[in-house]
């Protein structure tokens, strides 16, 4: 590399440092690979540019969204029809073209006639045009409409300290896409009926899905247009900073939004599979596996060729047994939702999982997860049917543990791994930590996963430290990254 860096390299290096800021682990090698990759593609081809960067810089699909956002911000102003500022009216252009080709099955008024292009359309005309574009699935027209709609409805003004979502909301409110969808469906139904072929529910569903997908892509165009304008106004770096969001693995379980929760749920499956593999593995020095010939022969040389010292491979894995004991009290409500998802995912990976939930009493909920296909259903049953309240429904770990020990303690055996999930906020009740000690005696391992930041541990009524004495490991577990670390630790 030379010291006179091209503007492109400058931009690229800004782009890569923003990826790192966003949490993507981009190594130096990968940085160099990206720079080399783009020398092999036509740089004006925006799509090629994008996949060349993605292939070299993003090695985890969960990071794709973060990558895309940063890419949009850094490179949205590049490339022909993405130019901004001149406010070329591509809608007018398209309308002219359409008229040139004759009326394209446009029943009626002939919109956009009389010059002035997109800006001259009445709101009714624009709505009609949108309707037609969605009906026909005309992508070019939809893109042009998206730009026009933003110009018209978003009310964007330079320098206003307002986020993109606000503009998006304003634009969408004016377009009223729900009503448009209804109209599209009605028209489609009527048309089929007129032809003596009324839509079956299946056909209706497929039509609706198609329209929804078109509407979704219109929304994407609108978002992209808003972002382009914001970038032009505020500059690349400021925009990138505003749009930064935690990566999926860094989202705090306690504060996850509904949408984030769905994402987390999906990410849990591969993780629990890994957990399954890890727990199934025997410790390396246990029983012996099959003979390792290579090693045996090698060692035979020191005995004059007599295979005197047989060498063995590592043994086969075994079937683990897991007890999950989870706090579902109010103080960890959000975590509990996650916990139950975790339990659900685990119970689909392992053959022997038993699930227990507690507040001040404890109940087994294993059956709620068995044969249940929908985790929300299981969670609902746990929350409504599990008998976990003893006195007042305020956390009492001590009592819950005692009750647990009395009812289920004997069933813990040397193959059992016990995972306790909770914040150990005990409302100043007695800890009864002897139960955890007993568990440790009987079980293979006892682990504690705590959803609170480590700095809060043992403050106020948290007594996690006391329990930790009898655990084989205590882990802060506030996000997927930490959960993964726990899984790795089991190796």
Among 183, 189, 241, 273, binds other proteins (CB under 8 A): 273
Cα(234)–Cα(334) distance, rounded to whole angstroms? 36
Q: Helix, strand, or coil here: 158?
A: coil
Cα(229)–Cα(150) distance, rounded to whole angstroms? 9
Six token digits for residue 330: 């109010």
Nearer to other proteins, 88 or 351 (CB): 351
Nearer to other proteins, 161 or 305 (CB): 305
Burial bucket for residue 216 (CB in 10 Å: 0-12, 13-18, 19+): exposed
Binding pattern for the stretch 181-200 against other proteins, x by CB under 8 A and - elsewhere: -------------------x
Task: Tell me if 272 sits within 8 A of 265, measured CB to CB.
Answer: no
Question: Interface with other proteins by CB under 8 A: which range of 152-160, 203-211, 237-245, 328-336?
Answer: 203-211
Report, in Å, the least distance between residue 266 CB and other proteins.
Answer: 9
Would you count residue 31 as binding other proteins (CB under 8 A)? no
Would you count residue 370 as binding other proteins (CB under 8 A)? no
Cα(149)–Cα(145) distance, rounded to whole angstroms? 6
Would you count residue 260 as binding other proteins (CB under 8 A)? no
**Dihedral angle sign, alpha carbons of residues 285, 290, 294, 297:** positive
Would you count residue 106 as binding other proteins (CB under 8 A)? no
Question: Interface with other proteins by CB under 8 A: which range of 32-40, 69-77, 102-110, 126-134?
Answer: 32-40
What lies within 8 Å, CB to CB, of 123 at 6+ separation is none
Closest CA to 47 of 69, 12, 8, 75: 75
What lies within 8 Å, CB to CB, of 158 at 6+ separation is 233
Question: Interface with other proteins by CB under 8 A: which range of 100-108, 187-195, 201-209, 450-458?
Answer: 201-209
Report, in Å, the least distance between residue 460 CB and other proteins.
Answer: 36
Report, in Å, the least distance between residue 258 CB and other proteins.
Answer: 12
Six token digits for residue 489: 């630790």
Closest CA to 382 of 324, 433, 439, 427: 324
Question: Interface with other proteins by CB under 8 A: which range of 125-133, 293-301, 410-418, 462-470?
Answer: 293-301
Residues that bind other proteins (CB under 8 A): 25, 27, 29-30, 33, 36-37, 40-41, 47-48, 51-52, 54-56, 58-61, 64-65, 200-202, 204-206, 208-210, 212-213, 216, 262, 270, 273-274, 277, 293-294, 296-297, 300-301, 304-305, 307, 313, 373, 484, 491
């Amino acid at each position: 590399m030379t010291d006179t860096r091209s503007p492109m390299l400058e931009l690229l290096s800004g782009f890569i440092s923003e990826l790192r800021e966003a949490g993507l682990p981009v190594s130096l090698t990968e940085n160099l690979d990206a720079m080399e990759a783009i020398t092999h593609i036509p740089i004006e081809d925006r799509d090629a540019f994008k996949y060349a960067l993605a292939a070299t810089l993003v090695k985890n699909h969960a990071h794709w969204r973060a990558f895309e956002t940063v890419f949009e911000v850094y490179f949205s102003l590049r490339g022909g029809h993405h130019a901004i500022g001149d406010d070329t009216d591509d809608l007018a252009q398209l309308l002219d073209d359409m008229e040139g080709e004759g009326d394209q099955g446009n029943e009626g008024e002939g919109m956009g006639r009389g010059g002035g292009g997109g800006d001259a359309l009445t709101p009714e005309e624009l709505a009609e045009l949108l309707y037609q574009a969605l009906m026909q699935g005309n992508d070019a027209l939809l893109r042009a409409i998206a730009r026009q709609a933003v110009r018209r409805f978003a009310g964007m003004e330079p320098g206003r300290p307002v986020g993109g979502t606000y503009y998006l909301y304003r634009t969408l409110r004016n377009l009223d896409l729900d009503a448009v969808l209804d109209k599209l469906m009605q028209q489609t139904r009527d048309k089929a009926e007129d032809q003596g072929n009324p839509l079956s529910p299946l056909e209706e569903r497929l039509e609706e899905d198609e329209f929804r997908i078109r509407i979704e892509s219109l929304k994407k165009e609108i978002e992209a247009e808003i972002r382009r304008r914001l970038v032009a106004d505020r500059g690349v770096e400021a925009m990138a900073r505003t749009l930064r969001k935690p990566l999926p693995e860094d989202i705090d379980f306690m504060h996850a939004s509904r949408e984030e929760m769905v994402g987390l749920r999906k990410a849990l499956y591969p993780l629990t599979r890994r957990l399954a593999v890890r727990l199934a593995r025997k410790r390396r020095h246990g029983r012996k596996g099959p003979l390792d010939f290579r090693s045996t022969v090698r060692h035979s040389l020191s005995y004059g060729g007599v295979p005197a010292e047989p060498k063995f491979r590592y043994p086969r894995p075994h079937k683990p047994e897991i007890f999950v004991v989870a706090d579902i009290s109010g103080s960890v409500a959000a975590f509990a939702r996650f916990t139950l998802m975790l339990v659900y995912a685990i119970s689909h990976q392992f053959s022997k999982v038993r699930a227990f939930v507690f507040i001040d009493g404890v109940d087994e909920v294993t059956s709620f997860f068995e044969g249940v296909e929908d985790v929300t259903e299981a969670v609902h049953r746990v929350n409504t049917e599990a008998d976990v309240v003893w006195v007042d429904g305020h956390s009492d770990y001590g009592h819950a543990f005692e009750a647990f020990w009395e009812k289920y303690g004997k069933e813990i055996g040397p193959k059992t791994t016990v995972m306790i999930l909770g914040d150990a906020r005990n409302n100043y009740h007695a800890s009864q930590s002897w139960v955890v000690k007993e568990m440790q005696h009987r079980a293979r391992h006892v682990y504690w996963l705590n959803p609170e930041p480590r700095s809060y541990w043992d403050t106020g009524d948290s007594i996690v430290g006391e329990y930790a004495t009898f655990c084989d490991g205590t882990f802060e577990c506030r996000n997927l990254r930490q959960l993964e670390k726990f899984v790795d630790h089991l190796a």
